[in-house]
Structure 1
């Protein structure tokens, strides 16, 4: 388990170094994840070695949201003061994101000539 976690965190570190060193517009963990996927594609034994640890991490993914919940509770006065504006911003941005995704999907479907038009 420790070697697999070390490999996963090493790829995150490599991605962070590459992202900052090359001033890439992507976050370091994303670069590291892409590199990890490429390595797992080239070396399937690596993927098999990481699989149990990755599944364990995914099984407890909800624990990663605990700090966000604590942050919300710690800032309840700010939330009470600006809650309506924050809620409105969340709703509007969600609707805009869904609309942008749908329009992009429709444009790509037209572009590639999808038969489901």
Structure 2
């Protein structure tokens, strides 16, 4: 499991290095995730090796929101000044992310010929 996490973090680091070295307008973690996806597509054993670790990380993803929640509470006075604009930005970006995720799922399902995407 430690090696798998190291591989995931190495992909993120490589993406960050490429983003900064080439001055790309794409965040490093996105580049790293794309590189990891390419690695999974090129090597099925790699994907099968990382799968249990990634499922474990996703199962405990909610723990990553605790520091963010503490940060929000510690800056409560700022929320009073800009709360309405912040709420509009959060709701809007959440809706856009859901729409983008759903469309991506449908497009990828059609590209791969998945029966689930057609329902």
* TM-score, with structure 2 as normaliser: 0.72
Aligned length: 99
* Structure 2 segments unaligned to the other structure (5+ residues): 101-119
SS at match of 2:31: helix
**Which of structures 1 and 2 has the larger relative contact order (alpha carbons within 8 angstroms, sep 6+)?**
1
Aligned twin of 1:107: none
Q: Structure 1 residues 67 and 20 mapped into 2: Cα distance closer, same or farther (>3 Å)?
A: same
Partner of 2:6: 6
Who is 1:44 aligned against? 44
Change (3 A) 1:87 1:3: closer
Cα shift readout 1:61-106 (whole Å, capped 9, x = no counterpart)? 1111112111110011221233234335555x45x959xx7xxxxx
Instruction: State the match for 1:77 in structure 2.
Output: 77
Larger radius of gyration: 1
Equivalence for 2:64: 64
Aligned to 1:25: 25
Gaps in structure 1 of 5+ consecutive residues? 102-117
Deviations 1:3-47 (A, max 9, x none): 100100000000000011011110000000000000111110000
Q: Could you say which residue in structure 2 is the equivalent of 1:55?
A: 55
Aligned partners of 2:85 and 2:28: how far apart in 1?
32
Aligned CA RMSD, in angstroms, stands at 2.5
